[in-house]
Amino acid sequence: MSDIIKSDCGNWKIYGNPKPKILIAGHSHTFAMYLALMKNDYFQEKFGLVAQSDFSVHKQQDENYWRFVQSFSASECKAISWNGNQHNIHFLLKTEYQFKCLGLNENLSVPVIPQSQIRELYKPTFEELKMVLNGFSKSASVILLGTPAPKDKQFLDKHLKNDPYFTQIGENLGISKKDLSATDNNIRAYMWKITQKMTQEVSAKYNYEFFPSPALSYNEASILFSDYYADDLTHANEKYGNLMLKELINHFGLHDE
**Residue 64 confidence (pLDDT):** 81
Q: What is the pLDDT of residues 189-218, one digit of tens each?
A: 999 999 999 999 999 999 999 999 999 999
Quick count: other Cβ atoms within 10 Å of Cβ 98?
13
What span, in angstroms and rounded, lies between the C-alpha atoms of 56 and 206? 35
- Residue 168, pLDDT > 50, answer yes
pLDDT band at 138 (very low <50, low <70, confident <90, very high): confident
Task: Give the pLDDT of residue 3.
Answer: 55
Q: How far apart are CA 148 and CA 213, in angstroms?
A: 6
- Distance, in Å, from the CA atom of 46 to the CA atom of 247, rounded to the nearest integer, reads 12
Whether the pLDDT of residue 126 is over 50: the answer is yes
pLDDT, residue 2, reads 54
Render pLDDT for 39-73 as a digit per residue (tens, 0 to 9).
999 999 999 999 888 777 777 888 888 988 888 76
pLDDT band at 235 (very low <50, low <70, confident <90, very high): very high
Which pLDDT does position 5 carry in this prediction? 52
Amino acid at 234: T
Which range, of 57-61, 68-72, 109-113, 153-157, averages the lowest pLDDT? 57-61
Residue 112 CB neighbours (<10 A):
12
pTM to 2 decimals?
0.92
| Predicted local confidence at residue 7, as pLDDT | 46
Q: Which domains does the chain have, with CATH numbers?
A: 3-256 (3.40.50.1110)
pLDDT of residue 8: 44
pLDDT of residue 9: 44
